[in-house]
Amino acid sequence: MEYRIEKNDSDTTVVFTGDITFSENVSFRQILKELAESDVDTCTFDLTNVGMVDSAGLGMFLIAKEQADTAGWKLSVSGAQGHVASMLKLTKLSDLLAG
């Protein structure tokens, strides 16, 4: 997995590329740290270029969601397709992360 953080005023987008799985634990925490240190109002996880997410990956989204709720910013996901979209639908996390 690779990621790029794009800032446009207080709107932040994290663009992910590759698979989001258990082994991305460390880089994901790095993302959350960077988000915590910057001034964020809304943040979108762009999953257009993500091929696969496993249940640990979904867990990381939940951790991000918790951080957003605590710090008072909005988190949503966008662009999910294929396996990622069906995982979000299967676990109904698509509703929880609708923004």
* Contact status: 97 vs another protein (CB under 8 A): no
* Contact status: 35 vs another protein (CB under 8 A): no
Question: Which strands sit side by side in the sheet containing 11-20, from one edge to the other?
Answer: 2-8, 11-20, 42-53, 74-78
- Shortest Cβ distance from residue 66 to another protein (Å)? 6
Contact with another protein (CB under 8 A) among 2, 22, 39, 99: 22
> Residue 90 or 98: which CB sits closer to another protein?
90
What type of residue sits at position 67? Q
> Residue 7 or 29: which CB sits closer to another protein?
29
Contact with another protein (CB under 8 A) among 5, 54, 73, 85: 54
Q: What DSSP string describes 46-85?
A: EEEEEEEE-HHHHHHHHHHHHHHHHHT-EEEEE---HHHH
> Residue 5 or 56: which CB sits closer to another protein?
56
> Residue 10 or 90: which CB sits closer to another protein?
90
Query: Tokens representing 11?
Result: 């709107």
Are 70 and 39 within 8 A, CB to CB? no
